[in-house]
Structure 1
Amino acid sequence: MKNIDYSLYLVTNRAGKTEEEFITTIEQAILGGVTVVQLREKDLSTGKFYRLASKVKELTSKYDIPLIINDRLDIALAINADGVHVGQSDMPGDIVRSIIGKNKILGISAATIKDTIKAEKDGADYIGSGAIFPTQTKDADCITIDYLKEIVNAVNIPIIAIGGLTEDNIESLVNTNIGGISLVSAIMESNNPKKTVQKLKTEFELL
């Protein structure tokens, strides 16, 4: 399961959508070319999160797309998700790795070279690094493209660029050697998620 294509990494945002619309958006994004889905829910109760995660897992399994659960290790284990993603203020990466074992995917958010190197040592399979551009969906300071390149060169695992990315600004990541781009609003708020992802895929392949 570890030979993962992180090139188009969708982080979900359910705001303003019914459950049916939410699931449909994810499916259309997968049909457009999304390679990884991260389910991110900060304010659902455990029971509701579990039920939603189970439905999303059914969908991603249908298309053989890895499902990563943000932060909630219990939910990830309960639905047998493909992995879990944690931030710097969540459970330490090495502890998460010891719990999920060596076969599950572990992603860690890191915006500094120091944190990135530590995350790799702790067993991360990839790093989510940013924010590249200002974003309303994630409260994070922006990093420069040059610093992103330094982060990429500091470790031997894929770096996924996150934060404010759209089909209009991805070209700024040219020659960074990133392993993928992570998107929220550009896909989840699109009127045509499939078409948007297809455009994003084309843009990424030109980097």
Structure 2
Amino acid sequence: MDLRERLSVYVIVSGATPEGVVDRVLAAGVGSLQYREKHLPLGEQLRQARRLREQCRRAGALFFVNDRLDLAMAAGADGVHLGQSDLPPAEARRLWGPQALIGASCASLEEIPWSAGADYVGVGPIYATASKDDAGAPVGVEAIERICQAFPGPVVGIGGIGPGRVAPIIRAGACGVSVISAVLDAPDPAAAARELLREVKHALAETGTP
């Protein structure tokens, strides 16, 4: 399974996400998981990140840590996802090495140069979202189209995405979607993950993307 396929549905969890929910979501076929936690002491974050890493490895999924290169390296994660106010991807690559998977948040063409060296970019928020306080104004599906033309690697849409909103993002050139509430706040998180995977697969087939 290549990186594009693993990023088809990319779920972001926190320290409050129950362990059993993580296992069920991974068993549903989610290929990538990101740990985002801003409030717990660093030692507790490391403990949680290592547990999530093991859950992902058992499921054959990729595990990323949000923002913190040091935490990602200490936890033995597959990669790190960096925002525009974090260490630049090229510098993270220099410190961690070629084996690391590095993602970058990108909302506009002006942010593409900063993203140089990243393996993939997350573009958003595509739609309005309440899951991230500092997400900013929606950039729309058009941002996916523009960034796909300028960035050579996989592009993932993020922000306000749920069932019924996947196809336009994939048609614009993204390989997948990144979600929080669409899966974790659903009555059945595993079923929600499967539905998103189905919609991504269907949209990719419509575009002729293998």
> Runs of 4+ in structure 1 displaced over 4 angstroms?
none
What's the TM-score once normalised by structure 2's chain length?
0.89
Q: Is contact 2:12-2:180 (8 Å) kept?
A: yes
Q: CA RMSD in A?
A: 1.5
What is the correspondence of 1:127-142 to structure 2 with a 5 Å cutoff? 127-138=121-132, 139-142=135-138
Point out where structure 2 has 5 or more consecutive residues left out of the alignment. 204-210
Distance 1:114 1:55, change over 3 A: same
1:160 aligned partner: 156
One-letter amino acid matched to 1:42: K
TM-score, with structure 1 as normaliser: 0.91
Q: Is the 8 A contact 1:171 1:203 kept in 2?
A: yes
Q: Hey, what does 1:103 align to over in structure 2?
A: 99
The amino acid across from 1:34 in the alignment is: V
The alpha-carbon deviation at position 158 of structure 1 amounts to 0.6
Report the count of equivalent residues: 199
Identity %: 30
Q: Partners of 1:181 and 1:142 in 2: how far apart? A: 15
Contact 2:144 2:169 in 1 (8 A): no
In 2: Cα distance, 1:141 partner to 1:95 partner: 28
Gaps of 5+ in 1: none
2:144 match: secondary structure: helix
- Where does 1:57-136 land on structure 2 (aligned, <5 Å)? 57-119=53-115, 121=116, 123-136=117-130
Match of 1:195 in 2: 191
Which amino acid in the other structure matches residue 82 of structure 1?
A: D
